[in-house]
Structure 1
């Protein structure tokens, strides 16, 4: 099978008919470097931690060792990766974003962060949580163990996210639990960062209005954040994280893309975070977002 190449000699894995094409502006090593940078900034990879070997990373990302080597050069130039030897690299992020103390606002702020699978919403949420000290409420973290156990008791796959049973019976309960956790925090005077796809919710004007009114009754302000990511970047991230629940999407990526609208935006005032390879670093966008919503609000 013929190997493909990008400018500069970078080799790409053979392309199936269902894989998105990679443009020169979105070279694979740049994509890999961006995702690893996001993991460092989100605290998934910690200062001093040894990075997986080149071959291990190449297998994880389904790319060549050349691609990983080039990605490591980018991160090394940024001071995020230090080459200790030919076979050992470590994370160098002594100034990893971490709130020196929780940012307290005059009234609690609830950030609802939504986006398609692989858009980077969880990474954004983690970065925001590390910057603010606010609790990070992620739907999968809060509900997945119970959800998967319930699906198995019903004789279904624990990784099912497409059936009518899941969509109509299980999914609403997941979001009910997520919103209850957010309400609990706000009732205690805490701001919160809430991450989930919110695909139905962000399309539902009535849900958005009810949610804003409910938190306003608790003297809290709501900020809606949509994380945008192009198809190529999403595919790389979804494939890399290797979650069993993504198997259905990856088995026919082209068909999955036909079911989503990459141009969708929530029908209420909102902020868009662009997590495409060619966009500004996720860390900078997170810091800019916080500066905007906390201006004049801190106590």
Structure 2
């Protein structure tokens, strides 16, 4: 059985760091190979080049142009690449904000994802205290975060936190100050996903 595990949440919550921390232990726990697919690594450069070619700020992933024309193709490409790996018997840790997909409860919808019943699914919503996320974004000094930092009050109001039915089957993990036992519990839960 292959696994498709999503690590989603807002900037600075530690999605990629968490996925990188768990990929080796998860492969050992399941006895299966895993790959890491980070949306920003896969599509960040091409989206920046596209935005620049269109006369836009190449790092503004919050612009209407990006949100209406580039966001969804990036996510579809992420899913296409995940399905190719799954077909080869390689499990996938997929990293991206995916807030709209969480809001619409799509990440565990096999039909929408285009994956069969023999793929185990899990979605981890990674959160951190706002101050912690802000400090991490400042510290990493990534050009793609410039808009968020210069418009923090506007950005923070758009941050979405799942609630109610959106939390059904969603694993929530807080990276503000986790203990080793928290990582171990998450690893166990992901290794047991069906």
Residue 249, structure 1, aligned to residue 143, structure 2: no
State TM-score, norm by structure 1.
0.58
**Counterpart of 1:223?**
122
Q: Given the superposition, is the C-alpha separation of residues 119 and 187 from structure 1 closer, same or farther in structure 2, using an over 3 Å criterion?
A: same
Larger helix share, 1 or 2: 2
Which has the higher relative contact order, 1 or 2, with Cα contacts under 8 A spaced 6 or more apart? 2
Other-structure match for 1:151 = 51
Q: How far apart are 1:236 and its partner, in Å?
A: 0.6
Determine the C-alpha separation between the residues in 2 that align with 1:124 and 1:213.
Answer: 23
- SS of the residue aligned with 2:99? coil
TM-score (structure 2 length as normaliser): 0.86
Higher Cα radius of gyration: 1
For the aligned residue pairs, the C-alpha RMSD in angstroms reads 2.2
Give the secondary structure class of the aligned counterpart of 1:216.
coil
State the shift of 1:153 in Å.
Answer: 1.5
Query: Does the CA-based 8 Å contact 2:106-2:113 persist in structure 1?
Result: no
Structure 2: state its 5+ residue gaps.
28-33
Gaps of 5+ in 1: 1-106
Q: Match of 1:286, SS?
A: helix
TM-superposed CA distance for 1:284, in Å, is: 4.1
In 2, Cα distance between the equivalents of 1:137 and 1:296? 19
Closer/same/farther in 2, CA of residues 296 and 202 from structure 1, 3 Å limit: closer
50, 74, 77: which one pairs with 1:174? 74
Contact 1:114-1:199 within 8 A present in 2 as well: yes
Structure with greater strand share of residues: 2
Count, aligned residues:
187
Aligned to 2:22: 128
